[in-house]
Every structure is written in structure tokens, then in C-alpha cells.
């Protein structure tokens, strides 16, 4: 019994190692060498902005982590805007005007995005209520 448990544990550990290795390789090769700016301060600024912009293809990754072609185009666009002397606020405004607030990984709390911020809490409360009701019904049958 212990040997079977140990083998399952080894197998699960192996799967996790493979998964995280593939994930880390994807992150390492996302920003291609031809995208990197020569000015170190501008590059750091570009990376910080890219980490806050959602990849519209992957949707759960920032464009800094994504290897999708749209993410690459957005990274280049951000670097070009930085070279033009645009501020972070101007770059974020340009992107949200073009793609909407969904492009931001952390959208601002305003009237249009209130659903994005509070719907998860509503679902949590609804889920707790459903579980509570289900438990009450099961206790009545006992």
C-alpha cells in the first residue's frame, strides 16, 4: 500500500515538474531579442506596462508572458510609444480606447467596470447560499 502511494506521489511530482518547466520556458522566450529596447530604463518601463496588459488571445496571461503574435505586436506598439515619448497614462489610454477596459489585467474601478469587480463576490455569496440550502435539505431527509 505504501509503495503504491509512493509511486503515485512520484508520478504527480513528475507531472508538476514537467508542467512548470514548460510554463517557465514559455515565459522566458516570450519577449524576443529584436523587441528589446537599447535604453535600459525604457525597456524596464515597457516590461512593466506589458505586465499589466492582457493578451487578447490567451486572456489569462499578460502580453509580457504570452508568445501569441498579437501579444508581440502589442509589445512592439508599447515600445514604439515609449520611443515617441508617450507617458504610461497616454499608453494605457491609447490601449483602452482601442481595445476597451478588458485589456487591462487590473481594470480601474469605474461605472463601466463595476461588474468585473463585484460579480465574483456575488457568485461567491450565491455559491455559499446554494451549498447552505442543499445542506439544509439533506438534513431534513435524515
What phi and psi values does residue 104 have, to the nearest 5 degrees?
-85, 130
For 59-106, write each residue's pLDDT tens digit.
788 998 888 889 999 999 999 999 999 999 999 999 999 998 889 988
- The pLDDT assigned to 32 comes to 66
Instruction: Identify the pLDDT of residue 24.
Output: 55
Q: How many helices (H) and strands (E) does the chain have?
A: 5, 0
Mean pLDDT of the chain: 83
Whether the CB-CB separation of 56 and 103 falls below 8 Å is answered with yes
Q: Which three cell numbers stand for residue 2?
A: 505504501
CB neighbourhood size of 100 (10 A): 13
Domain boundaries, the chain: 31-108, 110-142
Q: What pLDDT is stored for residue 86 in this prediction?
A: 95
**In contact, 95 and 103? CB cutoff 8 Å:** yes
- The answer to whether the beta carbons of residues 109 and 95 sit under 8 Å apart is no
Q: Which CATH class is domain 31-108?
A: mainly alpha
Task: Quickly state the pLDDT bin for 28 (edges 50, 70, 90).
Answer: very low
Could you tell me how far CA 110 lies from the centroid of its own chain?
20
Amino acid at each position: 500500500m505504501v509503495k503504491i502511494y509512493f509511486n503515485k506521489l512520484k508520478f504527480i511530482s513528475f507531472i508538476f515538474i514537467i508542467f512548470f518547466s514548460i510554463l517557465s520556458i514559455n515565459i522566458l522566450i516570450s519577449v524576443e531579442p529584436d523587441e528589446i529596447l537599447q535604453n535600459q530604463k525604457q525597456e524596464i518601463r515597457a516590461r512593466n506596462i506589458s505586465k499589466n496588459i492582457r493578451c487578447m488571445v490567451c486572456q489569462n496571461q499578460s502580453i509580457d508572458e504570452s508568445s501569441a503574435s498579437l501579444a508581440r505586436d502589442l509589445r512592439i506598439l508599447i515600445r514604439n510609444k515609449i520611443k515617441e515619448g508617450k507617458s504610461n497614462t497616454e499608453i494605457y489610454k491609447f490601449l483602452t480606447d482601442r481595445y476597451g477596459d478588458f485589456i487591462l489585467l487590473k481594470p480601474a474601478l469605474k461605472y463601466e467596470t463595476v461588474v468585473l469587480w463585484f460579480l465574483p463576490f456575488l457568485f461567491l455569496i450565491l455559491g455559499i447560499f446554494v451549498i447552505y440550502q442543499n445542506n439544509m435539505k439533506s438534513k431534513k431527509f435524515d
